[in-house]
Chain A
Amino acid sequence: MKDITCKLLVIGAGPGGYVCAIRAGQLGIDTVVIEAGKPGGTCLNVGCIPSKALIHAAEEFEKASHWAGKPGPLGISVESPKLEFGKTVAWKDGIVSRLNSGVAGLLKKAKVKYVQGWAKFRDGKTVEVETETGTQVIRAENVVIATGSAPVELPFLPFGGNVISSTEALSLPAVPERLAVVGGGYIGLELGMAFAKLGAKVTVVEALPRLLQQYDAELTKPVLKRLADLGIEVLTGAKAKGVSSKGDALLVEAADGKDRKIAADKILVTVGRKPVTAGWGLEEIDLDMSGRFIRIDDQCRTSMRGVYAIGDVTGEPMLAHRAMAQGEMVAEIVAGHKRSWDKRAIPAICFTDPELVTAGLSPDEAKKLGGEIKIGQFPFSANGRAMTKQGEDGFVRVVARADNHLVLGIQAVGQGVSELSAAFGLALEMGARLEDIAGTIHAHPTQGEAFQEAALKGLGHALHI
């Protein structure tokens, strides 16, 4: 097979890799992208998109189940609702496959060469790809490593059989009757809540004293309340020990030290994700590492000249939009533009019920800066739109410096608050002060008004509370 020579080679067509390749193509760079799976990576195929599809279906089904038999305050009632889970999964797969071809089309439009196969470094400028038709050698002036991350496996709970990762959880043939979730982080709770809504009896086992431990307790309170409402059992401070010999139960050492056996048809392990740093020849190029991750500088350069790394393989936060921004930046750097990482905030969303959004610094992080801070918090119980959506739980919180009112961080919890992340990110990136947010007209009636009111609260004169 004839060698390919290009200016830019991207390894991995996840959100970081494909964005990098598209942008490079736009800039007229001769670009090749290699992907072993389908275009879109974890995010599109086994992460963000399919999980949100499943969560949406679960929400809709839960509403219907809620109305079954007994009309609620809205006066709606339904006869016993039915779920054909096979159709749900097929619908989700349809969305995924539409987006797969969307990404492939965008790459083609940007004149990026797409190579299907598993890449392996021969040296810093040469990569071999095992394709269906043989080994393809690609030589490139610049290489971008965008190999992403994979679910972490617990040694005493190896994946296989009834022990599944988030990937398998998104493609189950049926809703498990009993689901045990090991790890009460955002992935475990998003999926756990979705399956509970679809009818599973869910138990969440978390080794730490509380769930969603990266968020403050005030923020997670509405989520914990909802977990209880959905009948999800939560065991905190509990250690998963393994699976029963029959494979139908999770063995747990509870907080009180007693062993427990949690009957489960499926055991979903969501204890984090690890960078994919093996299998593609990292040892051949001997890059400097930063813990488990590839060490990069503010231009995503690794310790080897002309080799860049972006996305989950470079560290936390492992978020698609961080990888996308890095990918775009690297493409422009390769095109000779002057760029460096200068973002103020990477908003993060947890699609639990209700949703959580964080952008910038939490109150505790802001306090650690040393200066005085101001916090403005506004509850959705005082927001008209939230009432009309039956989403009165939650709030928007703005953290600002006391001296000059510069907004340092914004958090929200509540129904549908994920869409507010756009406003939060913009405010932080533009360097808004409390006065800027308070002085921006927020359309009525929307949940966004709570954002403006939180800023007003920080200034000491919220109007609707």
Chain B
Amino acid sequence: MGEYVIKLPDVGEGVAEAELVEWNVKIGDMVREDTVLAAVMTDKATVEIPSPVDGEILWLGAEIGDTVAIGSPIVRLKVAGEGNTGAETAAAPKPPVNDDRKSQSAIAQAKPEPASQAARPEPVAAAKPAAASSPKPVSGAIQRGAPRAEGERPLASPAVRLRAKEAGIDLRQVGGSGPAGRIGHEDLDAFIQRGPQTGKTSGLVRNDAIEEIKIVGLRRKIAEKMKLAKSRIPHITYVEEVDVTALEELRANLNKEKRTDRPKLTLLPFLMRAMVRAIAEQPQLNALFDDEVGIVHQYGGVHIGIAAQTSGGLVVPVVKHVEARDLWDCGAEVNRLAEAAKAGTATREELSGSTITITSLGAMGGVVTTPVINHPEVAIVGVNKMMIRPMWDGSQFVPRKMMNLSSSFDHRVIDGWDAAIFVQRIKALLETPALIFVEG
């Protein structure tokens, strides 16, 4: 028997550390080669760590939410044969790199927890070995909170009974969390707080519950990113309405012609192409501002991030070199990336490298939004909901398909005037979509 140490592999180019977001195993588990042990998350991508060998988990080197350096041991396995620790046994395993939220000792203390949970048998079961032959070993845990059997008296101390009586509570309706279903003061507190299930009064009850939710993984990344953007960047948000009646006609016509090599077009590819044209005239908007050193990196290539909602939260897949893609190519790439992002299979490369971002909630887009710039970019274009509005054409109101664009800019490097020119240019292109196709 030997010991095999699994270290955190290189999960992406230039990545020095990753956040552990999920353990799929616990101490004592038997794993086979390729069993997924854990998931770690880098700046943008989540990577699964498979086991390279068969073995039994002896040790887990980090807790969910910890940041682990590439190359740090994360799992120790007991394996048949020699293992891979022969040369290293003298050296203590390198502890995981901790982020600033957690002390080393906290991890050390937390580590044995999964082990003890796994090893700790159900208390009642342990306390009654003689009952093994009993056909129905009902444990206290099984009865927890469950209503007791018909006619069975609620079990509670005299003090609890008195309190219940004075509060006008029938203990038969109260679940007991104690051993043998005993109702404690805390059960009574919870019942009083929750109110009777079959509310005879108003049915409106206070809820004073506070749930503690640890912000980990993608949510933490989003939180950090948003904080950075809002604390560093003085935003200016500019809203303009766009008449997309002509664009929608064009789009409908293009989609009528069904070709397998062309995706069904949404509004996004048109907007992307219009942005490329507008950026050609306002190149300072397609840039990353390194405010630490005071340098704006103005990009020639237009790499548009498309903010997308997934079950885990917001991700931003990036369509690279939009300037070199036609309408259908843009559409196809947006579709492919959106699928990958939703499935959680988008790579780190596909989720990074944008120079400007589009945010759109489609039918949920509202009338106006105040988009938060995807730091360190300097501009973001928000798409609001399209709707038919009555517009004055000079002699009468006519129904037009209208849509607002809410765009934010980094006011440190982008003046309001430039922002306005950029949005007006996009508006003009979208209102007269033929211009999008005019080269030069």
Residues of A that sit less than 8 Å from B by CB:
337-340, 342, 344, 372, 401-406, 429-431, 433-436, 459-460
Contacts and interface: CB of A to CB of B under 8 A. Distances in A.
A429 B158 CA distance: 7
A333 to B, nearest CB: 11
A429 B161 CA distance: 10
B156 A431 contact: yes
Contact of B180 (A338, A340, A342, A406): A406
Contacts of A340: 165
A6 to B, nearest CB: 26
B398 interface: no
A431 B183 CA distance: 9
Contact of A404 (B138, B156, B158, B168): B138
Classify chain B's interface size.
20 to 34
A406 B155 contact: yes
Nearest to A429: B158
Nearest to A439: B127
A372 B179 contact: no
Given A404-B143, A431-B180, A435-B179, A459 B165 contact: no
A98 B131 CA distance: 54
Closest 4 CB pairs of A and B: A404-B180, A403-B138, A460-B130, A431-B155
A429 B165 CA distance: 16
A161 to B, nearest CB: 49
Contact of B182 (A431, A434, A459, A460): A431
Contacts of B134: 372, 402-403
Contacts of B138: 403-404
A459 B131 CA distance: 9
10 contacts: A340-B165, A342-B158, A342-B161, A342-B165, A402-B131, A404-B124, A404-B143, A405-B124, A431-B178, A433-B140
B176 to A, nearest CB: 9
B127 to A, nearest CB: 6
Contacts, number: 56
Contacts of B179: 404-405, 433, 435-436
Interface of B: 124, 127-131, 134, 136-140, 143, 153, 155-158, 161, 165-166, 168, 178-182
A404 B178 CA distance: 11
Contacts of A342: 158, 161, 165
A359 B182 CA distance: 19
A23 to B, nearest CB: 14
A430 B157 contact: yes
Nearest to A342: B161
Chain B CB count within 10 A is highest, among A405, A406, A431, for A431
A172 to B, nearest CB: 42
A460 B138 CA distance: 18
A139 B157 CA distance: 38
A340 B153 CA distance: 14
B155 A339 contact: no
A405 B166 contact: no
Given A338-B166, A338-B168, A339-B165, A405 B127 contact: yes
A460 B165 contact: no
Nearest to A436: B179
B136 A435 contact: no
Contacts of A402: 131, 134
A58 B298 CA distance: 111
B157 to A, nearest CB: 5
A96 B139 CA distance: 51
A435 B127 contact: yes
Contacts of B161: 342
B180 A459 contact: no
Given A429-B158, A431-B180, A433-B180, A403 B136 contact: yes
B140 A404 contact: yes
Nearest to A460: B130
Contacts of A372: 134
Given A403-B138, A406-B155, A406-B180, 11 more contacts: A342-B158, A342-B165, A344-B153, A404-B124, A404-B138, A404-B180, A405-B124, A405-B179, A431-B156, A431-B178, A433-B140
Contacts of B137: 403
Contacts of A401: 180
B157 A459 contact: no
B135 to A, nearest CB: 9
Contacts of B158: 342, 429-430
Contact of B127 (A338, A429, A459): A459
Nearest to A343: B158
Nearest to B137: A403
Contacts of B143: 404
Given A404-B124, A404-B140, A338 B165 contact: yes
Q: Which of B127, B165, B166 has most chain A Cβ within 10 Å?
A: B127
Nearest to B157: A430
A196 B8 CA distance: 88
A338 B166 CA distance: 5
Nearest to B131: A402
A406 B176 CA distance: 14
Nearest to B136: A403
B129 A460 contact: yes
Contacts of A429: 157-158
B94 to A, nearest CB: 44
A243 B178 CA distance: 60
Nearest to B168: A338
Contacts of B130: 459-460
Contacts of A430: 157-158
